[in-house]
Structures are given as C-alpha cells and as structure tokens.
Amino acid sequence: SSSALLQHFADPLAAMEADGDKAKKAHKKRQGGLKAKKKQEAKQGKVERHNPKAHTFSGGAKSVAKRVRYSLEKASKKEHAPRVDKNPDVPPPFVVVVQGPPGVGKTTLIHSLVKHYARQKLLNMRGPVTLVSGRARRVTIVECSQDMKTMLDLAKIADLVLLLVDASFGFELETFEFINVLQVHGFPRIIGVLTHLDGFRDNKQLRKVKKTMKHRFWSECFDGAKMFYFSGLQYGRYHRLEVQNLARFIAVQKCPILSWRQSHPYVLGLRWEDHTDPSLPETAPRRLDVYGYVYGGRLREGMQAHLAGVGDFHIAQLKRLTDPCPTPDAVEAERDKAKIDAGQGDGKAQRKNKNALRSLAERHRVIYAPGSDIGSITVDSEAMYINVSEHEVGFTKKDGEAGGEGSELPEAVRMVRALQSGEASLDRVAASRPSLRLTRGSTVRLAEGGTGANGEGDAEPRRRRPAPAMGSDSIGADAGSDGEEEEGDESAEEDADGDADDDGDITGAEEGADDGEDSDAAHRRGVMERARGRFENKPRLEQAIYGRPSTASSSTKRRPSGKAKAADRDGAAVLGKEASGGPTDHNTVPLFDDDDEDDEELAGGEDADGRRDNGGLLGNLGDLDGLDTARMPKLPGGDLPWDDERKEALKTRKFITGGWSSAEEDEDGEPRAAAANAAGAEGEEGEGGDDEGQSGVGGEGGGSSSSAAPAKASAAASMDPVEAFSDSMPIATFVRVRLEDVPAACVAEMDRGRLLVLGGLLPGEASMGLVQVRVKRHRWHPKLLKSNDALLLSVGWRRYQTVPTFSLEDRGEKRMRFLKYTLEHAHCTMTMYGPMVPPNAGVMAFRSWKKVDHFRIAATGGVLESAPNFNIVKKLKLVGEPYKIFRNTAFVKNMFNSDLEVAKYAHSKIQTVSGIRGEIKKADGTKGCFRATFEDRILMSDLVVCKCWVNVEPKQFYHPVVDVAQWRPARLIGELRAANGVPVPNEKDSQYGKQFVRPERKFNPLKIPKTLEASLPFKSKPKNDSKKKKNALRQKAAVVPTENERAVNSLLNRLYTVRKEKHRIRQASSTKKKATKEKREKFIQDKREAVSKEAKKKRYVKQGQQEGQRRKAMRLD
C-alpha cells in the first residue's frame, strides 16, 4: 500500500487515469415520500388539481364569522380619512435624534454614523449634522442633552429616535421620561441601542441581560420594537458591521405622518446668524436669521411663528437659498445639464439604468455641519480654521529649509513660493496708475505710490469718455435733461476737487460736450440695444389679473417726466442719507455682462452729497459703491409665455388661498412690491454674503424714496410676477428666515451648539383664552396636583407656566364640578389660561424642570377645546338651625349674616337632614334670620341645609418660558409657605372624609298613667319591670361566703369551663365533617351537571336536526 501511495504522488496523471477506469456509484432512485408519490401518480395519468381545498367543506360557522369580521374591518377602514403624506418626492432631511443618559455613547455613535455615511472624521460636534444617506434621502442627526427643555423641543420634530441604554447599568430615569414625552407629542419611530456589552464576559449572562432589556423596552414602547446591540469600540468608534446594520435600518425607516406636524410648518435651525446693525447698542432688539429646511407645510412670509424658548415673531423675510446638502439625483442632474450646456450632450441621452446610483460616489457624500469641526476644518465663534498636517504643508517654506528653489519641488509649489516672495503687484499697479480704484464707482482710491501730497507725479488730466446718447427714447431724454440741469454743479465740483474720475464714470456735462462724435453715436446705439433687450417689459401682475389698462395711464406710471425726476433729486439733496433708497434684492439684474466694460456704464447726475443718482434706467442697480450683487444671465421666468393657463395658476395661487400677504399691501389695498423690496434690502445693508452665496448685498441708493419708487416698480415689473410676489416656500426648501426684534438677552445666551426650532402658528393660535385639557396624573409622580398651584406646561410649540383649575364632569354633563386635587387614578379636566390650541394637541405638565430624585412628569393629556370662558362651579352647603316652629313654618338662624343675603337666596330650595324639603320665604330682621316653609313639621333638633353651586373663575396667569439664566418660574404654594414659615392651614370645611356627626339623640321614657295602665289588656301593658332598688342598709352590708360556699363556687366554675371546652371541640368537629361532606357532594354534583349538560346538548342537536328535517319536508326553507 505504501508503494502504491508513493506511485500515486509520483505520477498523479497516471493515478487519475487509473481511478477513472473504476465504475461510479449509481444514483439510487427514491422509492417513497411525497416526491416519489407525485411521480408515480403522474405516470398513472392522474391530473393534480390546482386547488384541492376549493370544493371541500368551507369551514362552517367559524369561516363565516371570519369573513364577516374581514368585511366589517374593510368597511371601517373606508370610514376613516386616509392620512396623506405631504412630503415631495425629494423629502427634507430625515431627523434622527440620539438620546441617552450621560456616558452612554451618544457622541461615539454619531461619530460612527458620520464616518459611515460621509467617510469623514467628526472632530467636535456642535449642533445638527446633515448628510446624504441615499439616492434621494438625507439625514439630520441631532444629539439630545439631558435638559428637559431640549428633550421637549426635539420630541416635537423627531422622525426617528435612537434610545441608547447602558447595558451594564440598566434603564435610567431620563430614558423613561423621554419615552413619555415622545408618547404625548406624537410618538415617532423609535429604536433601542444597547451599549457597553463588552463588559459581560459570560455569554449566558449576556443573553439574559439582552432578553431582560428587550422585554423591558417593549413594555414601555410596544411589542416588537427594534433593538440593536453594540458590543464594543474599535479605533474609537463602534464596530463597522454593527454601525452598518443600524444605518441600513435607518435608511428604510419611513417618516411618521403626525397630525400636528402635517398642519404646522416648522424649521429646524441648522445655523443662525445675528445681522443686527453694529452701530446699535448691545441691549437693542436683534435681527436674527435662521437657516434650515422647511418641514410640515408651506412656510409663508409674514405669518406668525414661535421660536422655542424665545417667543412669538412675525416672519419678516423669507428667502430661498441653495441647498447646502443636495441629493445625489440633484447632483447628477446638474452634471448632465452642465454637460449639455458645454456641448458634450444632445439633451436626449438619459441614464441607462435608473438604479445606477445604488452606491454613493465620493462627490455625493456631502455633509453640512456649520457648527461642528469636520476633518481638518475647525469652526470658532469668529473664524474658521483649516488645520493642515505638518507633512502635508508644501506651499509654505518650512523653518530650517534651504532658501534656494530646488528642482525637486513641484511646479505649483515653486510658483506659489515665488508669489509669496515677490513684490506686491498691487503696489506696482498703484504706482503706475494713480487713479486706480478697486471697484467701479468707488470713492476710495489706492495710495498713489511715488506721488506726493502736492501731486507732483500727476500726468495731464485724463479725458472722460462720453456718455451714450439716448436718442428719441423717453429714458434717454430724461437722462439728457438730468445732465443739462446739473451740468453747472458738476463742473464746479470738478474744478474744486481736481480729482480724476473713473474711466467708466459718465456725467451730464460730458454728455452735452461730446454729443456729436460718430464713434460715440455708434457706441450709444449699441448700449441702447442691449439695454432694451435686457429691460424688456413683461406683463405686470395687475395686468395679468385685471386686464391691460389704458395706454396713457400705464405709460404715465412707468415713465415719469424729466421735471419730476429733477424735483425728486432736489428732494434727495435736502433729505440726505435718510431718504436714500435701500439696496436691491436678489432678483436684481445688472445692465452689462462683463465687469471689464467700464466704458459702457450709464449714470445720472450727482446730488449735493456726491452720491450718484441711479434713477431711470440704472434705478435697479442700487448703490455702485457697495458690494456687488448676485448676477443672473436672465430674469426668472422670462422664457415662459404669459398664456391663459399661467395667468389662471397665478390667480389660484394668490387669491384662492387668502389673497395678498400683509407685506404686499398698504393701507389703500394696492400692491407695494417696491416698498417690500426696499424694506427687505435695508435689512441686508452692511451684511456679508451668505455662506451659500445667494444673498445679494448693496449699499445706499442714490435717489430719494420718491425717486426710487418708479425704479423699484420698473424692476418689479421686469421680473416674473410669480417670483416677484412669492411669499411662501414649499416643503424641503432650504430657506433663510429673518426675525426682527428678537430680545438681546436671548441672543446673548445662544451658542452654536444650541438647537433652534421655529414652529409656524395657525391664525387662531395667537389669541389668548381658556383651554380645557383632559389630563391624568402620571402614575410615577409622587404627589397629587392641586388647583391654583403653578404648573409648567408643554403645549404645541410653546412652553409656559400657568395656574390650572381642575374639575370633573358631574351629573350627565350638566356641570363641571371644581376639584381641589387631581384624582388618584382617573382622568379629570384641567382649565388653564394661555394661547388657543387646536383639539387633540398633546399636553405635558411639570412641577419643575430641575433634576430631582423622582419622576418629573406630573401629568399628561390632550386638548379638548378652547374658548373665551368656561363655567366651573363649586359645591357650597349652608347650614342653619330652627329657633321657632309653627306647624309647617319655621324660623331659621345661623345660615346667613344679613338680610341682603337672605334676599339674594329668596325662594331657594332647602332641606333638613331627615329629608323634609322646604323653601326660603322672607328675612326676619337684619341678622340673617329668615322664615321658611316645609312640607311637614320639623323638629327643633333638625338641621336645615341649603345646597348651592358657586362659580369658580380660573386664574388668568401666563408666564412664557424663556431660555435665559435670568428667567425665574413662579414659586409653588408649598415653596412660598416654607420660605415664609407659614403653616399649612387646617380649616374644618376643607377636611376631606370627615362628615358632620350628629350626637346620639336621647328620648324621654314613656309614662303611662296608672288608671290607663289598669284598663289596658295584658299584651299592651308595659313588660319592662324596673330593677328593684337596694336599700341603704343592703348597700352598706358586705357578703362574706363561707369555706363551703367558696368550694362549691370553684367546683361549679371548673365544671362550666369543661362544658365550654367540650362544646367547642364538638362544634369544630361538626364544622370539619360538614366541609368534607360539602366537598364530596360538590364533586358528585359537578359530575352530574357535566353529564346532564352533554345530554342536553345531544338532545338539542337532535331536536334541531329533526326541526330542520321537518321544515325541509314542509318546504319552509
């Protein structure tokens, strides 16, 4: 065998050929089983039925009941209105809230998710983090702190909650509190995450802990709630596969459809900026800009919104910005469009596979975390820093490096170092061109280098280029008239200053001087053609809605005369800076495309202050001394024709759902788009551009408010009316919301990591009134809640403190009865004063925000209704005593204090304790006594009671919660008593459970005269013989028994004791025998009843069959 083995390894080919000659084992066919049976039946020709159970017994009564239940459930589902998801195809980012006690691993989990999605390292997290998680899905991850205010705000906007639990410690109180908050405010999707599982070394104990935690989590949420288990850390993060499983589960979670969020638009502030004028004092109201995505519904400009922890504000300005975290579909669409514009595509080619974006490319992994440090970027309160590692620094020369430029350096590094070491180019240009300016129209010039203050280096004055002629156009005529009227002033100013103007500056004096040159005429014609093409008038909004007005009136409105413009300029010179127009809005379009074509610039004259008048054609350019505005190649909507369908869509959008917004109408009801644009532009004055590069910023305008109005109107008319008057933003739009008059103390307390929730308010939610809530004290809260004791509430978007009044519905909804305390384990009604809230809104009550050793949530419930007033009554019992009785009439005292009170209660119903009813008639004297009549004669010992109901007015106390350190809540009654040393009052009427106890009544003995007793029959004679009185001598005499009598008495006592013991034993034995007998008889009786029951069933079945046969024979069925 060993030789054969050696030969096998020595010559493997030969061994394989030898093995191939052997016969292989034949396949053994199956002789039994379902497969063999089917094959055998197929050979015999048996055809298998498609559904063997189709023609069998249907199941009888159970099957019928099942079908009935199914049909009823189907019908009941049709009765409920289906919930409609209002989110578009590309929804806003999915809000994921990570919550857990301190040290459980929240930040580590967020770092792991960011690394999984964005492939970047999150150094320090402050505020929300938005990133791309799928082809059409984005995720906003927010970390929830242990502050109850933050927990409340996040529970109202969360789409998914990751509840982290430390497995080595167990569930903590904050976790249960947050679950209860979620249940009241909508209960979104929830996932549990167990961490610190690496501390368990025994697998059996680990499995037991997992099972226990899972079932405890299910009991709090719902059976089947998903739970993930994180075993340990790897490179400072959780294991990649565990994070990947969690991320995949997050990716398939659907957004919950909650009624409150579907009816209220809201914005989760990803970033905020304070754009208040720096010249104002620090205590002045601030102008706050909040950046974020729109959720829930359309957000409208001018609507009222609540900023959590700050207060209610009107949205002063709403602006759409570029999405900082676009979806991969949007990125690819932009790339395809760019290729088509570049001529690399014909526009017909489409993506071959719709599912081509199954995985995210590097260009798709976008992350937007404005307040966090990501990768090498660090954000401070004042600046942003880019940290480059020492081995990556190549452009800057290192310390100790040789000064020569070695050939081994890359070309880019050599060029940058040459620029760093070279002479400043701007200084050389300034020396060669003394009149050089940084921007067109700027009044600040560069330093003139080698020229001194005396102007020795000045060359001959540069000749200004002529202004373009306007021809026969009315605009050109206006500009010419302006130049002629201000020619003298301009020349005088030039002689006095002696400064050379910019190459592109044009004045009215030079326009008149060089009007006859042929080249200038050609230049003017070209400029006018381009101006006409760009400022071609589109149909105005009122024309699109109400039809085209008369030609004379429209031309008069659009083109004011030159004299009117001159008068406006004179007014502007008088008013100065206060009358200057604001900067332009983001829809401003410059006249020219190229920045270098300075010679094609148009201008009016200059006013007394040296500012340029930008009226007429250049009225929409704003201040040329300010920063450059956003430039557009064409006006929005300019390519679309104004057909009937577009006009009808405009009517439907602006008039069917409420008409013009308050920001677009003045007191006369006319649209004032120019005033709205000017007001919005004033807010952007002196403000840097947005991070997204969308907010245009300009300086002060050249003309007065009256002269700027026609220019603003022409600019508004030139743009698309739908875009010009847009006052709402749809869901999933990244917007900038501007709030005015925000308290400075609130803004000072804000930091970049603070969460801002801006919730929209419906029109009725701004008014104050009484709100009725159905509440129940939380079973874990240790104390009952007391009426007229302050409570902190979370209702809707708001958090405030109020004084509630508890009541209970009594006697078939006839009245609401006042309660001093909440019920122990039942619901009651709470009436409070505050903002109106729609029904079914969740309400949470707290006694204090502070961390305590017990459950902080005091009560939970939902809003029933809101109204200006509710009728709550309190029971009052007035007790009196009769002091005179005349048959059915009695005089009662001690119930009232004066005759006025008696007159007020005249004809009221009264009743004695024994049940005799009566009525108050009239006062008797002035001390509160009165006369009353009863249905029967009462006794002097009876108490007279008057049952009343007194109205209880709820306390109108509203104290909104402001998230600043100086805010203090109203103290509770117990805290006030403890601080002032006041004991708890103990009033007799306020003692619960102690009823009025009447003393036992003693009746006099019945005395029957002797003569009457003698004549009575024996059965009627009194039988209670009175005890014989002992005489005095017998009372004093002492009875001393003899020795024999004592022995007899002792013997009798012993015999009596023995007799009692025998009787007790006999009684116990009898009871035991009786119980045994009853048990045996019960067993026999149960057997008999079971047999009898079966017999009855058989008899009834037989009778039913006989009855069915009889009816069938009689053809009744």
Helix crossing, 106-118 with 240-251: angle to 10°? 80
Q: Which residues pair with 99 in a beta bridge?
A: 163
Residue 974 confidence class, pLDDT cut points 50, 70, 90: confident
- What are the residues whose beta carbons fall under 8 Å from the beta carbon of 725, sequence distance 6 or more? 541, 654, 660, 664, 671, 673
Q: What is the mean pLDDT of the chain?
A: 75
- Determine which of 179-193, 235-249, 266-280, 672-686 has the lowest per-residue pLDDT on average: 672-686
Tell me the torsion sign for CA atoms 978, 983, 989, 994: positive
Distance between CA atoms of residues 133 and 654, nearest Å = 37
Q: Could you tell me the CA-to-CA distances from 165 to 162, 981, 1039 in Å, in that order?
A: 10, 43, 87
Residue 569 has pLDDT above 90, yes or no: no
Residue 490 confidence class, pLDDT cut points 50, 70, 90: very low
Distance between CA atoms of residues 86 and 354, nearest Å = 24
Distance between CA atoms of residues 521 and 966, nearest Å = 70
- What are the residues whose beta carbons fall under 8 Å from the beta carbon of 727, sequence distance 6 or more? 300, 301, 302, 318, 661, 663, 664
pLDDT above 90 covers a percentage of the chain that reads 32
Q: Closest Cα to residue 164, out of 154, 186, 179? A: 179
Q: Could you tell me the CA-to-CA distances from 529 to 345, 718, 893 in Å, in that order?
A: 33, 16, 105
Most confident region among 51-55, 531-535, 549-553, 772-776 by mean pLDDT: 772-776
The confidence score (pLDDT) of residue 618 equals 35
Residue 854 has pLDDT above 70, yes or no: yes
Q: Closest Cα to residue 290, out of 305, 661, 641, 431? A: 305
The confidence score (pLDDT) of residue 1008 equals 87
Q: What is the chain's alpha carbon radius of gyration, rounded to the nearest angstrom?
A: 47
Please state, as a whole number, how many other Cβ atoms lie within 10 Å of the Cβ of residue 797. 26
| Environment class of 598 (CB within 10 Å of its CB; exposed 0-12, middle 13-18, buried 19+) | middle
The confidence score (pLDDT) of residue 373 equals 78
- Determine which of 357-371, 590-604, 830-844 has the lowest per-residue pLDDT on average: 590-604
Distance between CA atoms of residues 110 and 374, nearest Å = 12
Amino acid symbol at 16: M
The confidence score (pLDDT) of residue 692 equals 44
DSSP state of 761: -
Task: Name the helix (H) or strand (E) containing 736.
Answer: strand 734-742
Q: Are 318 and 301 in contact (CB under 8 A)?
A: yes
The confidence score (pLDDT) of residue 1053 equals 94
What is the DSSP annotation of 250-296? HHTPPPP--HHHHHS-EEEEEEEEE---TTS-TTSPEEEEEEEEEES
Helix crossing, 551-558 with 705-718: angle to 10°? 120
Q: Which residues pair with 809 in a beta bridge?
A: 816
Look at 673 and 1107; give whichever has higher pLDDT: 1107
What is the DSSP annotation of 664-723? GB-TTS-B-HHHHHHHHHHHTTT-PPPTTS--------SS-HHHHHHHHHHHHHHS-HHH
Residue 1093 has pLDDT above 90, yes or no: yes
Distance between CA atoms of residues 404 and 203, nearest Å = 66
DSSP state of 836: -
Distance between CA atoms of residues 484 and 494, nearest Å = 16
Distance between CA atoms of residues 258 and 840, nearest Å = 11
Q: Could you tell me the CA-to-CA distances from 551 to 543, 562, 717, 720 in Å, in that order?
A: 12, 19, 16, 21
- What are the residues whose beta carbons fall under 8 Å from the beta carbon of 241, sequence distance 6 or more? none
3-state secondary structure of 455: coil
Residue 425 has pLDDT above 50, yes or no: yes
Average pLDDT of span 301-329: 91
State in Å, rounded, how far the first CA of the chain is from the last one: 91
- Tokens 């788009």, residue located: 673
The confidence score (pLDDT) of residue 653 equals 57
- Please name the residue ranges forming H helices in 971-1028: 973-980, 1010-1015
- Tokens 């679950």, residue located: 179
Q: Which residues pair with 162 in a beta bridge?
A: 98, 191
DSSP state of 104: S
- How do beta strands 734-742 and 286-295 pair? antiparallel
Residue 420 confidence class, pLDDT cut points 50, 70, 90: confident
Instruction: Tally helices (H) and strands (E) across the chain.
Output: 30, 36
The confidence score (pLDDT) of residue 376 equals 63
The Cα angle at residue 1012 between residues 1006 and 1017, in degrees rounded to 5: 95
pLDDT tens figures, 706-740:
333 343 344 444 444 444 445 688 999 999 999 99
How many CA atoms, within 13 angstroms, populate the side-chain half-sphere of residue 720? 15
Q: Are 671 and 664 in contact (CB under 8 A)?
A: yes
Q: Closest Cα to residue 257, out of 88, 142, 86? A: 86
Q: What pTM did the predictor assign?
A: 0.58
Distance between CA atoms of residues 86 and 688, nearest Å = 35
The confidence score (pLDDT) of residue 587 equals 41
pLDDT tens figures, 20-34:
456 677 777 777 788
Q: Are 304 and 314 in contact (CB under 8 A)?
A: yes
Average pLDDT of span 1077-1106: 93
Buried residues in 644-679 as b, exposed as e (16+ CB within 10 A): eebeeebeeebeeeeebbebbeeeeeebbbbbbbbe
pLDDT tens figures, 733-759:
999 999 999 999 999 888 877 789 999
| Environment class of 536 (CB within 10 Å of its CB; exposed 0-12, middle 13-18, buried 19+) | exposed
Distance between CA atoms of residues 486 and 488, nearest Å = 6
Residue 190 confidence class, pLDDT cut points 50, 70, 90: very high
What is the arrangement of strands in the sheet containing 373-374, beginning at the earlier edge strand? 122-124, 373-374, 377-379, 384-386
Structure tokens that stand for 587 in this block: 């829809």
DSSP state of 830: E
